[in-house]
Amino acid sequence: MDPNAIINMYNVNFYYGQSRALTDITMSIKKKNVTALIGPSGCGKSTFLRLLNRMNDLIDGTRVEGEILFEGKNIYASDIDPVEIRRKIGMVFQKPNPFPKTIYNNIAYGPKLTGADNNDLDTLVERSLRQAVLWDEVKDILNKSAMNLSGGQQQRLCIARALAMKPDILLMDEPTSALDPISTAKIEELIEELKKDYTIIIVTHNMQQAARISDETAFFYLGNLVEYNKTEKIFTNPDVKHTEDYITGRFG
Amino acid sequence: MKWRYFKQTVFFGIVRLSSLIIVLALGGILFYIVINGVGVINWDFIAKPPTDSMTKGGIMPAILGTLYLTSGAIAVGLPLGIVSAIYLTEYAKQGRIIRIIKVGINCLAGVPSVVFGLFGLGFFVVLMKFGSSILAGSLTLGFLILPTIIGAAEEALKSVPQTFREASLSLGVSKWQTTLRIVLPNAMPGILTGSILGIGRAAGETAPIMFTAATFFTAKLPSSIFDEVMALPYHIYVLATAGTNIEATRPIQYGTVLVLVAVVLGIDLSAIIIRGYMRKNKRW
């Protein structure tokens, strides 16, 4: 077991009812790294991501085989509460999904309900918004509805909201696919910054984005992990022909 | 070409005519009630009890009774309906049993109101020994409007975007807290508007309260929920069929009908206003 790994998974299979969405995945994810998951639509990368914070539990008829160890513990063990797992493994979704609440309450929502000290909420909100590089834009409108923010600001708000829970890992499911290029660039800079403190796993359809921001890249195809390597290696000299074909746009 | 155009004109004509008939029928009824009823409406009619075998005086106890019964029905039906809908949409595993329960609820909505009345009589009045009372009537009316409220609440809960639930759960907030803090507040406008229509129905029903709460005449106002009350729909029924002086009470009958229609329309109107206001503030 790699001492730098935060997640180790062994022979993981995942099923929606009868159909298998992920086949025999074994991989480990390094701490305080950005790991990009790439592959054509329907290849299982989002399923894979949602496996890690047990969001797939919400779908009826799903089933997991194998072991996913987070800090040495199997997160699918029967004595593990998925709610606890999600506090440590945060998530940012494809479309910005702030709550129809004020900016302040969007951030404070999670910590308040999971028993954070109320006296420190102000500090926590500011800290989280600063980390998401949104503070300067919203510090005067904290009591305005988050729905008034632009798409890019909303997405950074969602990142701040996840960070307020002080997670160890941040899962991002195509966080920039609904955003314009400038907002995308801001989020990418932010990811650079965040990886000092957090482990980031990001699904992306954008090859350049994966190449720009990630340290490791995993290529999924039809539910299989085809290749998993240093990003530089994947994009310059992949081991598998299939990976090269996908990256160079010959299929996908 | 001309034939096709002709067919279109005919069909549009039929559609327009149908809508016109509905509007005219409603307008006609309202107009008739208003011109016949407005004459007796004055402050005494609203604020005084009936006198002289109900041929004179007002209908205040009936207005008050309907208010009590309707509030009671809300107090019974709304919480029960919302909780049931939360179970059905958020918690229950969708499958055969849930489908059967939903069919059951729909059947309940189709049960004639007099059957609810008899159920109320048998269960609340006799078996539970509540007697003919505000309590028994409220419970009966509450059950009568339960299917409407469950239906409205289910629709409203389903219309809350799944992304809100996911966002909350992904923060490590429990399902119960997510339902309470995110799903329910966002569904509330829809639940209220849908429910108010059911409440309007509760205010206007005669059969369910006939055996469970309403009394022919009482000059004194109820002092507890175990007292009988007069109620607008039942008062109309009594005046029109069982009074000693049916002809002499004719104007009062129209006046009472007008008040009842105004109360029900008022409740419906408030639903429309609330809905408009909530929609303005809804931004997803």
- Domain assignment of residue A34, yes or no: yes
CATH number of A60's domain = 3.40.50.300
Q: Domain count of chain A?
A: 1
- Domain assignment of residue B32, yes or no: no
Q: What is the average pLDDT across A33-48?
A: 92
From chain B, the residues in CB contact with A145 under 8 A are: 283
Q: Provide the pLDDT for residue A249.
A: 82
- Domain assignment of residue B92, yes or no: yes
pLDDT tens-digit readout, B27-44 = 999 999 999 988 888 888
pLDDT tens-digit readout, B120-137 = 999 999 998 998 899 999
**Cα A100 from Cα B104, distance rounded (Å):** 35
Q: Provide the pLDDT for residue A166.
A: 92
pLDDT tens-digit readout, A212-240 = 999 999 999 999 999 999 999 999 999 99
Above pLDDT 70, what percent of chain A?
98
pLDDT band, very low/low/confident/very high, at B13 (cuts 50, 70, 90): very high
Q: Domain count of chain B?
A: 1
- Domain assignment of residue B17, yes or no: no
Locate tokens 């299982």: which residue? A44
Burial class, A245, CB count within 10 angstroms (exposed 0-12 / middle 13-18 / buried 19+): middle
From the list B167, B172, B282, the residue facing A97 with the nearest CB is: B167
Do the Cβ atoms of B66 and B233 come closer than 8 Å? yes
**Cβ pair A97:B168 closer than 8 A:** no
pLDDT band, very low/low/confident/very high, at B216 (cuts 50, 70, 90): confident
Cα B159 to Cα B73, B106, B165, B186, B279: the distances in Å are 26, 20, 12, 9, 13
CATH number of B140's domain = 1.10.3720.10
DSSP annotation of A145 reads B
Q: Provide the pLDDT for residue A175.
A: 93
pLDDT at B284 over 60: no
Mean pLDDT, chain A, as a whole number?
Answer: 91
Backbone angles phi and psi of A15, in degrees to 5: -125, 135
- Domain assignment of residue A252, yes or no: no
Higher-pLDDT residue of A83, B284: A83
pLDDT at B271 over 80: no
Domain that holds residue B166: 61-229
Cα dihedral B137/B142/B143/B145 (nearest 10): 120
- Domain assignment of residue B54, yes or no: no
Give me B164's structure tokens.
Answer: 């809100």
Report the candidate in B181, B179, B159, B192 with the shortest Cα–Cα distance to residue B74.
B192
Do the Cβ atoms of A107 and A160 come closer than 8 Å? yes
pLDDT at B1 over 70: no
Q: What is the average pLDDT across B62-80?
A: 92
- Domain assignment of residue B272, yes or no: no
Domain that holds residue A147: 5-247
**Cα A24 from Cα B279, distance rounded (Å):** 48
- Domain assignment of residue B7, yes or no: no
From chain A, the residues in CB contact with B172 under 8 A are: 83-88, 110, 114, 165
Measured CB to CB, residues of chain A less than 8 Å from chain B are 53, 55, 58, 60, 83-88, 90-91, 93, 95, 97-100, 109-110, 113-114, 145, 147, 158, 161-162, 165
Q: Provide the pLDDT for residue B93.
A: 82
Q: Provide the pLDDT for residue B10.
A: 93
Do the Cβ atoms of A34 and A195 come closer than 8 Å? yes
From chain B, the residues in CB contact with A98 under 8 A are: 167
* First-last CA distance in chain B: 46
**Cα A71 from Cα A93, distance rounded (Å):** 24
- Domain assignment of residue A126, yes or no: yes
Residue of A75, A97, A107 to mutate, interface with B, max B Cβ within 10 Å: A97
Give the count of Cβ contacts less than 8 A between chain A and B: 68
- Domain assignment of residue B75, yes or no: yes
**Cβ pair B177:A113 closer than 8 A:** yes
Q: Provide the pLDDT for residue B189.
A: 85
